[in-house]
Homo-oligomer: A and B are copies of this chain.
Amino acid sequence: MTQTKDLSPVAEVEPAAHAHLCMPEDSRKRASRRLAIARGHVESIIRMLDDPHVYCVDVLRQIKAVQGALSGAGEVVLRGHLEAHVATAHERGDAHEIIEELMEALKYT
């Protein structure tokens, strides 16, 4: 667990081409709050797994619940991106690029 501190888990992903566009502050705060809840939930599952009597299906359900929370965080980010950057793309003149980039990011859902 402490071991994960050494990993730079974001290192393998290249910054996106449109990284000069900033995330709307409201999305940023809301996504952060949801992720903090998801983190607490992951921690509680790790504690569950210390108990040798824990039951597989209880763990599966908790993992599904965290996945739901992460999807919620992802939705907040996507909505902010659509509003702040995609809806204005035609005016800015980069619609094609920004949509390819988004489709690529959504593929791994």
Contacts and interface: CB of A to CB of B under 8 A. Distances in A.
A3 to B, nearest CB: 6
A40 B4 contact: yes
A85 B70 contact: no
B32 A46 contact: yes
Given A1-B36, A13-B61, A56 B68 contact: no
A60 B77 contact: yes
Contacts of A63: 70, 73-74, 77
What is the size category of the interface that chain A forms with chain B? 35 or more
Contact of A55 (B1, B35, B90): B1
Given A7-B44, A18-B55, A21-B56, 7 more contacts: A10-B65, A22-B55, A32-B50, A39-B39, A64-B74, A67-B67, A70-B70
Interface of A: 1, 3-5, 7-10, 12-13, 15-16, 18-23, 25, 27-29, 31-32, 35-68, 70-71, 73-75, 77-91, 95-96, 98-99, 101-103, 105-109
